[in-house]
Amino acid sequence: MEGVLLVLILLVVACVGFVVWGASRASSSRNAASLADAQADARRVIDRLGGQVINLTGTNEAAKQALADASERFNAAGSQIEQATTVKQAMLAKESALEGLYYVRAARIAMDMDPGPEVESLPGQKSAGAVTEDRRVEFEGRQIEASPTPSERTPNYYPGGRVAGRPVPAGWYSEPWWKPALVAGAWGLGSVLLFDAMFSGMHGVGYDAQGFESGYGEGYSDGLAAQDAGYDGGGDMGGGDGGGWFDGGGDGGGWGDFGGGDFGGDFGGF
């Protein structure tokens, strides 16, 4: 009798082990398939961006700057997808490439060309809004301008999103004043004054002075954040802060190359 019981116990243990092993294999297969799909999707967007970067040449300052930013995003996305070992990492690579496509569209607009097909929305983009009127403000001894259109005075494009938790509207600017916060991950003490002067009362932008100062911008309200949750079919692009890449997309490398420019001195107060 004891021998029979021992055999039965061994059989039960073997069956349980087989079921666990089978479930583990199935889960691994699903994860591998999901990763492969995410990588393929990212590479599709990266390849599209690469073709644009290679074939376009800027004919004015705004277009040249936008294409330089697009090229930077292309390089960052390529590096990210090569290192991606999870679905989320592959999606971040795609996000970087999508940002690059927005810069390509901006360059084409600056050269009076057809902007091309629409590009998927980026995290935080809808809630941040867009610049709808020309603004010129005095800040820390210099003038900063914003405009819905490119010009010699506003050659720096931003596709819109959250940078270090704060909504920065899409538009053209006289200088990329958001980059120090993008790199550092936090805004300086004077940022509230700048945002208030630049965007207060402007229709179409997702900015509230009191909310910004109190930290409301960190999620930019649950309701508005939910607006952006539909990105790529409801996928979690991670980072959503500046968003994906507007926090560098998890890749700080692409944005670290401007230390030799004006940012060393001009943005000290940021």
Residue 151: per-residue pLDDT: 95
The residue among 55, 56, 94 whose CA lies nearest residue 76 is: 94
Spatial CA neighbour of 80 closest among 52, 39, 41: 39
186 CB contacts (<8 Å, ≥6 apart)? 164
Top-confidence residue, 144 or 185:
144
| The most confident of 42-56, 174-188, 212-226, by mean pLDDT | 42-56
Return the minimum-mean-pLDDT range out of 22-31, 75-84, 159-168, 176-185.
22-31
Contacts 24+ apart (CB under 8 A), 112-115: none
Query: Of 1 and 134, which is predicted with more confidence?
Result: 134
3-state secondary structure of 156: strand
Per-residue pLDDT at 56 exceeds 90: yes
109-113, 200-204, 220-224, 228-232: least confidently modelled range: 220-224
Number of H helices and number of E strands within the chain? Answer: 10, 6
Cβ(90)–Cβ(41) under 8 Å? yes
| Mean pLDDT of all residues in 31-57 | 94
- Report pLDDT for 270: 39
Q: Return left, alpha or beta for 22; rule: phi > 0 is left, psi -120 to 50 is alpha, else beta.
A: alpha
| pLDDT tens digit sequence for 124-170 | 999 999 999 999 999 888 899 999 999 999 999 999 998 988 899 99
pTM for the full predicted model: 0.69
**Predicted pLDDT of residue 26:** 64
How confident is the prediction for the chain on average, in pLDDT?
Answer: 79
Q: Contact 50/41 with Cβ under 8 angstroms? A: no
CA 181 to chain centre: 14
